[in-house]
Amino acid sequence: MGLKGLTHPKTAVRGNVLGGLGMLVAVVAVLFEQEILGIGGLLGGLAAGTLIGALFAVRVQMTAMPQLVAIFNGFGGAASALVAAGEYVAVSDHGSGVLVDKASYFASLTAQGMISHHAVESLAIGFAGLVGAATFTGSVIAFAKLQELISGKVYNIPGNQFLTMALTLGSLGMCGYMLVAPSVMLFWLLIAVASVLGIALVLRIGGADMPVVIALLNSLSGIAAAAAGFVLANTSLIIAGSLVGASGVILTVIMCKAMNRSLANVLFGGVAVAAGDQEDIYTGKIKETDADEVAILLDAADRVVFVPGYGMAVAQAQHAVRELTNQLKKRGKTVEFAIHPVAGRMPGHMNVLLAEVDIPYDDLKEMEEINPTFGEVDVAIVLGANDVVNPVARDDPDSPIAGMPIIDVDRARNVIVIKRSLSPGFAGIPNPLFANDNTLMFFGDAKGAIMSANTALEEY
Ligand code: NAP
């Protein structure tokens, strides 16, 4: 029910609460039933967990959500690796009841008699350790990059490609070797190699590509959990892990498609940054505007579309946008929001910010839905967005972002672009939209600019 609730913004908060409650009941029931903790320990754990969770909820900014998700994925991976390690010790100790309990479970898996249940278990332990450890260290690097603890650049270590390949093949080989000659030493070596693999893989990916990597790491943490499910002979863990694994892969593919990049390009290609010649594109063609002129345009408009981007998130301009929207609606205008799937820096970034200020979900239009109607838009307000409205993606096959689907704001009657300067966005390329005849540049911080336009409209 929690997951179902999360499928729509209207029910998402309830879904989140339900999911959390479900986990609480599950954890408390297991700790209680297995007599792992007494009442005192349970209450202490609940208090500590609640405090940590509340601190995260209050203190972590929405823009810092990707790194929080990254570190949570990492913990998931580490948990799976630890389960594998713990179980390895139990398997080595044949006196424990663990294997006996699971014998019938593995018997059903190995009914064909192709492989023994020891083999299934050894393989699962090795695999959970490999994926879990690589997910943990990879996620820590992703967290460090996004939190700016280390530089977000692409670390081009000489021979990295060869090293990554060797580590991947080496760890897979060790995993396979555990089938024939399992040993505790081999297991720890596997964990060590997989940990270096996670670091080597993520170090060479630029900070701006981290959201895609995080979606991938999320998927890997699910796969590690599913492997841990095989280790523990726990069907629900296998199901839950597979669910996370599959949905993480789907999200990764959606993000790659929306940026017109292949996953291989994100993982191994570095970021396509082209300097571009700003002078040629902008000189003599930029028309500046101010709050008063924007107010006049808005007053005359029937249909206004906001196109929010990363800059709205940085400026935390969503409250000001809500105020302006209210005033426009009061004046009988149609107000909509065009949402690009990779606007901002994480999937659903714009949806979350606009939901925070109670913009009705029906006013949010997906790119495919709103694009054909831009010819009838009187004023399009591009708010801190850049790449997602760059027409070169559509018109120039040689551009680094060629083929990336964009929001066709340039087809609106009037375009107002709000940003602080002519600086490029994430892709690092100039945007000819700014020099178009129907574009006016309103330079300034997104929040301040919207507030001043709102005041000017009130006074108009
Ligand atoms: P963008 O292309 O990165 O451009 C954002 C613009 O916001 C900048 O040009 C900047 O210009 C402006 N800005 C920054 N702070 C501002 C402020 N305080 N007030 C006003 N403007 C401000 O953003 P986008 O159009 O949203 O596109 C997202 C990009 O991120 C895409 O290239 C996408 O591929 C990439 N990406 C997205 C995701 C995701 O999941 N959403 C994941 C990975 C990569 P000034 O400096 O001149 O103000």
Which of 209, 387, 408, 410 is catalytic? The answer is 387
Q: For residue range 178-190, what is the model confidence (pLDDT) as tens digits?
A: 777 777 888 899 9
How far apart, in whole angstroms, are the C-alpha atoms of residue 141 and residue 352?
26
Q: State the distance from the centre of ligand 1 to the C-alpha of 347, rounded, in angstroms.
A: 13
Residue 365's contacts (CB-CB under 8 Å, 6 or more residues apart) are 305, 336, 337, 338, 339
Rounded alpha-carbon distances, angstroms, from residue 347 to 47, 107, 400: 32, 42, 21
Of 307, 298, 317, 311, which Cα lies nearest the Cα of 420?
A: 311
Separation of CA 135 from chain center: 15
Q: How far apart are CA 431 and CA 100, in angstroms?
A: 66
338 Cα: distance to centroid of ligand 1 (angstroms): 15
Per DSSP, the three-state class of 438 is coil
Confirm if 195 and 134 have CB atoms less than 8 A apart: yes
Copy the structure tokens of residue 308.
């929010």
| 445 in active site | no
Helix and strand numbers, DSSP H then E, in the chain: 19, 6
Residue of 319, 352, 387 to mutate, ligand 1, most atoms within 8 A of C-beta: 387
Q: Which tens digit of pLDDT belongs to each residue from 102-139? A: 545 455 555 555 455 667 778 888 999 999 999 999 99
Write out the two tokens for 430.
Answer: 């100039």
User: Using CA positions, which residue lies closest to atom 18 of ligand 1?
Assistant: 315
Supply the pLDDT for residue 390: 95
CA atoms in the 13 A half-sphere facing the CB of 253: 6
Confidence of residue 388 (pLDDT cuts 50, 70, 90): very high
182 Cα–ligand 1 center, Å: 50
DSSP 387: G
- Which pLDDT tens digit goes with each residue over 242-291? 999 999 999 999 888 887 778 888 877 654 444 455 657 888 899 999 99
Are the C-beta atoms of 6 and 19 separated by less than 8 Å?
yes
- Ligand 1 binding pocket includes 427 (Cβ within 6 Å): yes
Look at residue 457 in the predicted model and tell me its pLDDT: 96
Q: What is the pLDDT of residue 81?
A: 92
